[in-house]
Every structure is written in structure tokens, then in C-alpha cells.
Amino acid sequence: MSKQDKFGFIFSNEDGVMRAAAVANVTSWLVLLVFVATFVTNFWPLFDGTVPFSELFNQPTSLVNVFYILIMGVVYFSILQGVSRLLHLGLDIYYSLYPDEEEAK
């Protein structure tokens, strides 16, 4: 991928695409970890006994806000995992369209 093709220079090389995919993958796990930690921190007073469950059911918006954090973490995780998978898929498509000279023989 780092060679010049018939249309001009290729934007990225293989190492750059693999590095971007790895960064997206690691970042997605870190984002999920931070959001789960925030969710546990917000949800912990329910198990600690400082906030009774009956009071939580009287205010359903607070329950929604607690789970909103977790849902947003899962959404960001899914988006970044999708970016990583699409970069790998793009490399697979490129390899199938333009095989190396050694593989072609």
C-alpha cells in the first residue's frame, strides 16, 4: 500500500492503517472502562444504603440518568470498535484487489 499506484500516491501505508486500527481498539476499551467506572460510582450509593430504592422509584429521571452513562459508554465503544473493524476490512479488501508480487506468482 505504500507504493505509488496509477492514480497517484496512496494516502496511507499499511502500518499507518494498522496503527490507527489499534489505537481505535485500545481507545474503545479505555472509554468503556471509564464509563463503567462512572456508572459504578453513580450506582454505588444504592447498594451503600445512602439512597433507598423507594426514593429512586419516585424519581425515575435519576434512574434514567444513571443508566444513560452506561448506554453512552456502550455506544462510544461500539463506534470505535466499528472504526477498528472497518479499517481492518479496508485492508482486507485492498489485499484482495491488489495482491503482492510474491503472491501473484
Provide the pLDDT confidence category of residue 100 given band limits of 50, 70 and 90. Answer: confident
**Partner residues linked to 5 by β-bridges:** 8
Which cell numbers hold the place of 24?
481505535
Q: Where are the domains of the chain?
A: 15-99
The secondary element (H helix, E strand) that includes residue 4 is strand 4-5
**Partner residues linked to 61 by β-bridges:** none
Residue 21 near residue 81 (C-beta atoms within 8 A): no
Residue 1: pLDDT over 70: no
Report the mean per-residue pLDDT for the chain. 82
Give the model's pLDDT for residue 102. Answer: 62
Residue 43: pLDDT over 70: yes
Q: Which residues of 31-66 are buried (b: 16+ CB within 10 A; e: fewer)?
A: bbeebeeebeebbeeeeeeeeeeeeeeeeeeeeeeb
Amino acid at 61: T
More confident residue, 29 or 47: 29
